[in-house]
Structure 1
Amino acid sequence: MSATALLKVAVFFITWAALWLPLAIPMAVLLKWRPSQPLTTEQKLPLLAVLYLIAPLIVWGATQVDGVSFSDYGLDSQLTLLKSLGLGWGLGLTSLILIFVGEWILGWIEWQGANWHRLATIWLPILVLGLWIGIVEELVFRGVLVNQLQQDYSPWIAAAISSTLFALLHLIWERQDTLPQLPGLWLMGMVLVLARWVDNGSLGLSWGLHASWIWSLTCLQDAKLISYTGKCPTWITGWKENPLAGVAGILCLLVVGILLLLILLIPIAPNPGF
């Protein structure tokens, strides 16, 4: 990474942290959390909410420095963004349905029909959370970072660097549980960059994919809609029931990535160096 790209990326994250930490530290004290301890959901959500509420301000600052607009980072107010969001949502949901139905057919999971009623109270809050987390992370990692890095690197190198940062920064929250997911998180980042390329530089498709995966997996976990039978090794289904930490989750991402890559390689597809 050149000095220019490194400096811009570093300043972006340092500024974000500098604005977040004065709020996060008192909150962590009130929530009785210590960095050496794993975060509970009740502790993580307030800290995450403040971090992500600050993000648009940091991105706005980046637009002022670079003399660009949010649309240059892939976020605009056109109707096509919502159409792409819907397409990405459908693709993400379909990919997970195929994986979990396949695991059910193979006898690796069981559906807990008695728990479906739990969705009634959680699906909407998780939907809002998934959409917000999805757009913030897409705007930062597939928008600002990819654009900055492509000033000095080829699109594929820029994608690899931004995906590496995307994966590593997840270690902030739960290091022990996140380490096995790092390869999956990196691949997820690459797939989401592909989605932006396919969408002609817009974040709509990648936003839909990302938000759909967050919503679907969180609903499954929080409502306890599935249980693992133990008939398959955890390295396939996912360590600690985290799909990204297993072959199944990697396969899901690969299928979506290959599909997007095939679309990208069609002669009429736009050049990824937007």
Structure 2
Amino acid sequence: MGGNAPPHPRERRGRAVSRILVTGAAGAVGTLIRPRLARPGRILRLLDTVELEPAEAEEFVRASVTDPEAMERACADVDAVVHLGGISVEAPWRDILDVNINGTCTVFEAARRAGVPRVVFASSNHAVGYRTPDEYPLTAATPPLPDTYYGVSKAAGEALGALYHHRYGLDVVCVRIMTCCTEPPDARALSTWLSPDDCGRLLEACLTAPKPGYRIVYGVSRNTRGGWVSLDEARALGYEPADDAERHAAAVLAAHGEPPADDPVFAHVGGPFTAAEFDADRL
């Protein structure tokens, strides 16, 4: 970047977050969090491969996270990156490798080159998807045990985040997001639901906590049927969940029925992602 290179991330810490780059802004989580990250004096720079109509105090960049030059331009004058972009379901290895792993590396490298001091990486419970109930609650110290190529990509993203923190000084928070949607879609989600409002609260904590260093936290609401993962690490950043999936329980169980205790979706934290339909020869 020559003589006009932005300051090293360590030199920019302490500035108020005023412009946040959100990759994958057109996706399900991106759509939910846009209004919830809006603040007076803050600009959200939205990035996606599909067209978006920016609202007030938003900017739009049409680009792929796999494009190094476009990503570096998108990171210019940015105070933090919320990296949601990528394939959000299981897919063939070549696609996961290109978009989720190489793309995430591209995002971290672009942030480093542009002097962005903080990256919040959307990881997933599928990075530890083969963990079982006897190991609950899972914590930040729980080693990866991915359930799919998708889960592998999230474990790789967490490793990249560790590298970019320890080598280059970026603050990196990896959020192992559980089931983030407007309402719990099924009985399993009564334990794993992350409400949109709580997702906004968690991301705000990740963006504003002073000097978090490198962290792994779990993204989940304060569910009565929870306890699968620890909220201690997220609370240490200032996150306090306010929502509980239990208020949706009657409607969910009326629609889907009470699942048997031996339902395979409860055998692992990754739920249906551990099923045979996700075997490589079926993709």
Instruction: Return the TM-score normalized by structure 1.
Output: 0.32
Instruction: Return the TM-score normalized by structure 2.
Output: 0.31
Structure with the larger RCO, 1 or 2 (CA within 8 Å, 6+ apart): 1
Give the helix-richer structure, 1 or 2. Answer: 1
